[in-house]
Amino acid sequence: MRALLLLFVVMPIIEMWLLIQVGAEIGPLYTISLVLLTAVIGVQLLRQQGFATLWRGRRKLEEGQLPAQEIAEGIILAVSGALLLTPGFVTDAIGFAGLFPPSRALLGQLLLSKLLITNLHDPKHRYRTDDGATRTGTTIDGESWDNRGDIDGPKH
């Protein structure tokens, strides 16, 4: 609940205050130009970093590995892009931090540490039960067919 309060109430107030302060120092036209410039630079960096992350993930898939780190970084890139398109200097600073590869890798590792990753190709894999316990079990693979149009006619 506090995080939502911070996100939707406190953050816009901080952003408005900072925009007013910067506007008073350098003028409103330069402030607006600076906000637009950070958005343009951010989009270009997002495109570059996004493609690099996509190619790393694709290479891992071709090697038969799970691209978990790349998926986590992709989520961080998406959030960073949204923050960079939001007018303001604080959101831009957080967004640029998500585009910076070392901080993004660190955030990706933090995100992955909160998730349970399973290898479905391993016959003994970990899974989480409804009560939150982690267990090891056997994966059973199966197939099913729809016999409509069978010789006996449709099944009711």
pLDDT tens for the chain, 156 residues: list them.
Answer: 788 877 788 889 999 999 999 999 999 999 999 999 999 999 999 999 999 999 999 999 999 888 889 999 999 999 999 999 889 999 999 999 999 999 999 999 888 887 755 555 555 556 566 676 766 665 555 666 666 655 555 555
Predicted TM-score (pTM) of this structure: 0.69
Summarize pLDDT for 36-60 with one digit per residue, the tens: 999 999 999 999 999 999 999 999 9
- The CA–CA distances, whole Å, from 9 to 4, 94, 95 equal 8, 17, 19
Instruction: Give strand pairing partners of 125.
Output: 137
Residue 121, judged by CB atoms within 10 A of its CB (0-12, 13-18, 19+), counts as: exposed
Return mean pLDDT, the chain.
83
pLDDT of residue 66: 85
**Which residue type, as a one-letter code, is found at position 130?**
D
Length, in residues, of the chain:
156
Rounded Cα gap, residues 134 and 112, in angstroms: 16
Two tokens, residue 87:
């007018």
